[in-house]
Homo-oligomer: A and B are copies of this chain.
Amino acid sequence: MSKNSNKKFVEAITAIDEDFAKWYTDIVKKAELIDYSTVKGCMIIRPYGYAIWENIQKYLDNRIKETGHENVYMPMFIPESLLQKEKDHVEGFSPEVAYVTRAGGEDLAERLIVRPTSETLFCEHYAKIIQSYNDLPKKYNQWCSVVRWEKTTRPFLRTSEFLWQEGHTAHATAEEAEKETIDMLNVYADMLEEYLAIPVLKGQKTEKEKFAGAKATYTIESLMHDGKALQSGTSHNFGDGFARAFNIRYSDKNSKLQYVHQTSWGVTTRLIGAIIMVHGDDSGLVLPPKVAPIQAVIVPIAQHKEGVLDKANELKNNLSSVVRVKLDASDKMPGWKFNEYEMKGIPVRIEIGPKDIENNQAVLVRRDTRAKEVVNLNDLKDRVLAVLDEIHNSLYEKALKNREERTFVAKTMEELKAIAENKSGFIKAMWCGERECEEKIKEVAGLTSRCIPFEQEELDTNCVCCGKKAEKMVYWGKAY
């Protein structure tokens, strides 16, 4: 039995360029990020996967608080009539909601919806607690799980239940709400680039792709190793639409009643899927150093020999003040340990054996490039920190290079179709702004609009589809 469990990491995973989808599910299982349960469409997030989420939470919760938001907790149920108050919102969500119809031994008079998102609950609360301009802005956030029933699911990317944070804010003016929407999109973009080493495109969603009930939805889009896009975080400006539906008004300095302007924004456990699909390779997960639950693992060589484990422990204690470090002193073979920690994507491996100790050195191996170097033990702490930085930067550069190589330009529908058929990545093309053209591009080339980027380029003067005058460049792609 124990031999079997020792062996499980030695089994190769599917090659990344052979079958990306299978490679992905191999990794989430073999790196022990998730397990399936008998609950259809839901996943168990295992300790190693959850530790990644906890690091994301820690980083983001700090940023959310630094920017003046407060955490709250709303009920997980929404009365059906409450969800129905904002017309577009209910239409967007009703196909995928789960209903509680019976509780406490009785059929319920009104069905309860397990929250797919909590706009309506926040609105009901804001209508009660906001009276005066003195009460504004209200900047709340909540960490919780939400439920959106899915027919086909994939761990982290699309599950019937997922974890997320949802910020909900109310402001006195439209300008302030717009600023908040963009500010929080920037917080997300910073997190992906600076913390997860994932380059993003920032932009606006089209009318067709925006959030149910929003006036404007902004998005960060990232490109996976296989050239598919992943919507990685969204921020919505609701204008005063929800305020009118829920009658959220404040009396201004002239004692005149005004509707508030609202926003909401969220990121989910899907980010773990992005980390896997942007950085992973044929040996398994590759974790960006800042979010890695274990940043360096020490593997003793010939650990039965005198002094090896003592030295390994000394290194661990020394390093633990600056990095998250693990010493594996189990009696498994070093080769098994190398495989295991490569599968788990630990950024740096430190090998230390009798010969190293003689020479007051250790061998340091990068997970991403496999580059090995011999480091004097006196310099180890500094070198590990420097290498972690180097790994972050080179993961980011590699992902950026992948995106750049997989970003194409189409000026005609023929070009668009040809690229969509033969390549995989983002396609930049001009668009007239009409929903008809957007639908036709979907139909003809299987592409959806990912975003209207903030950084516009004038590739051409006319719409790639209808040929009419176009002022917007859009990123198109196939998406998860």
Contacts and interface: CB of A to CB of B under 8 A. Distances in A.
A161 B74 CA distance: 10
Interface string A160-180: 110100000000000000000
A430 to B, nearest CB: 38
A45 B295 CA distance: 36
A436 interface: no
Main secondary structure of the interface of A (DSSP, over half): mixed
Copies of this chain, whole number: 2
A22 to B, nearest CB: 21
Contacts of A422: none
Contacts of A160: 103-104
A129 B35 CA distance: 9
A124 B76 contact: no
Contacts of A151: 104
B125 A35 contact: yes
Given A38-B79, A38-B124, A73 B45 contact: yes
Nearest to A95: B105
A62 interface: no
13 contacts: A1-B255, A2-B132, A5-B132, A37-B124, A39-B75, A39-B78, A43-B75, A73-B163, A76-B147, A96-B104, A99-B100, A101-B101, A144-B145
Interface of A: 1-2, 4-5, 35, 37-39, 42-47, 50-51, 53-54, 70-79, 82, 95-105, 112, 114, 121, 124-125, 128-129, 131-135, 140, 144-145, 147, 149-151, 160-161, 163, 250-251, 255
Given A37-B75, A46-B72, 18 more contacts: A1-B132, A1-B251, A2-B134, A37-B74, A38-B79, A39-B77, A39-B78, A39-B79, A47-B72, A50-B73, A51-B70, A73-B163, A98-B102, A98-B103, A101-B101, A103-B147, A104-B149, A104-B151
